Homo-oligomer: A and B are copies of this chain.
Amino acid sequence: MAIRPAEQLIHKAAWLYYAHGLRQDQVASQLNISRASVAMYLRKARETGIVNISTSTQLFTDDVLARKLEDALHLDAVWIAPENDHIADPSTEIAVLAASVFLELVKKGDRIGVAWGRTVYMIADIMSYADLQDVTVAQLCGNLGAPYSYRPDQCTMEIARRLNAKGLNFYAPLVLSTEELARALRAEPVIREQLSGVGECDLALYSVGAVDADSHLVKCGALTPSEMAELRKQGAAGVIAGQIIDAGGKVLDCSYNRRVISAELASLRAIARRLMVVQEDSKFEPLLAAIAGGLCTHLVVGARMAQRLLDHAAATTEKAS
The residues of A with any CB-CB pair to B shorter than 8 Å are 2-3, 8, 11-12, 14-15, 18-20, 30, 45, 49-56, 58-59, 62, 86, 96-97, 100, 104, 107-108, 131, 133
Contact = CB atoms under 8 A, between A and B. Distances in A.
Given A8-B59, A58-B11, A19 B100 contact: yes
Copies of this chain:
2
A51 B56 contact: yes
Contacts of A107: 107-108
Contacts of A100: 19
Nearest to A97: B19
B52 A3 contact: no
Contacts of A55: 11, 14-15, 18-19, 45, 50-52
Shortest Cβ-Cβ A-B pairs, 6 listed: A11-B59, A18-B55, A51-B55, A56-B131, A14-B55, A52-B54
A3 B62 CA distance: 7
Contacts of A14: 55-56
A14 B60 CA distance: 13
A150 B51 CA distance: 31
A58 B19 contact: no
A3 B58 contact: yes
A96 B52 CA distance: 17
15 contacts: A3-B62, A11-B55, A14-B55, A14-B56, A15-B55, A19-B55, A20-B96, A45-B55, A50-B55, A50-B58, A52-B55, A56-B131, A58-B131, A58-B133, A104-B108
B56 A53 contact: no
A250 to B, nearest CB: 30
Contacts of A20: 96
Nearest to A132: B56
A30 B85 CA distance: 12
Contact of A53 (B30, B51, B59, B104): B51
Contact of A11 (B49, B53, B56, B108): B56
Nearest to A59: B11
